[in-house]
Amino acid sequence: MEKRSERPSQLITKKFAKELHLNFMRYRARIISKYIQKEDSNAVWFSIEELENYIDYAKAKGERKGYNVNGIRFYFGVYPDEKKYAEKAGLATIFLTATGKKIKTPATNNIQTFALVRETADEEIPGVEPMNYGSIGNPPSLTY
């Protein structure tokens, strides 16, 4: 069965993407690199397979924990400046974490079970581990 794909509403032009990246390099990367005294990473890459696998994993594990999994939140991070992180030591990264709403079913009584379901606000789902270790490239700085 062929997957149906619709045009995402959040697409931007290549020109705007380049502007965003140049702004990052101009207003953030220079300051960060000067502060840490080395060129920092400015991009992280995950394969489609890795992303699809994480999404499938997060949905399955989140649902088992009683959550309606509805998104992925991306966080900025920095690897510890330790030898075990090799070329990534001290460099920026991003990591992903699944978000969703806890499904709460109302209390039942002896006469009938209510089919109504309430959901809580979006939150990181406990027990669904974040994903990291994308490729930062070599050298770390890429130009969009």
Q: List pLDDT tens digits, range 83-131.
A: 998 888 999 999 999 999 988 765 555 544 444 455 556 788 888 989 9
Domain match, 105 and 127 both: yes
| CA angle at 16 for the pair 15 and 19, rounded to the nearest 5° | 90
- What is the DSSP code string of 42-59? ---B--HHHHHHHHHHHH
Residues 127, 111 share a domain: yes
pTM to 2 decimal places: 0.77
- 94 lies in the same domain as 32: no
**Same-domain check for residues 26 and 75:** no
Query: Does any domain span residue 142?
Result: no
Q: Which domain holds residue 129?
A: 44-137
Q: Are residues 21 and 91 in the same domain?
A: no
Token pair of 17, please? 């993407």
List the Cα angle 117/127/64 in 5-degree steps: 45
In this structure, are residues 68 and 104 in contact, taking their beta carbons and an 8 Å threshold?
no
Looking at per-residue pLDDT, the higher value among 84 and 139 belongs to: 84
Total count of domains within the chain: 2
Dist CA 11 CA 34 (whole Å)? 33
What whole-number distance in Å separates Cα of residue 101 and Cα of residue 78? 28
Same domain, 23 and 64: no
Domain assignment present for 35: yes
In a domain, 123, yes or no: yes
Q: How confident is the model at residue 134 (pLDDT cuts 50, 70, 90)?
A: confident
Over the stretch 16-26, which tens digit does the pLDDT of each residue have?
Answer: 999 999 999 99
Q: What is the pLDDT of residue 121?
A: 63
Question: Do 73 and 118 sit in the same domain of this protein?
Answer: yes
Average pLDDT over residues 60-86: 93
Q: Across all residues in the chain, what is the average pLDDT?
A: 84
Same domain, 56 and 124: yes
Instruction: Please check whether residues 52 and 123 belong to one and the same domain.
Output: yes
Say if 51 falls within a structural domain: yes
Report if residue 25 sits inside a domain. Answer: yes
Question: Within a domain: residue 61?
Answer: yes
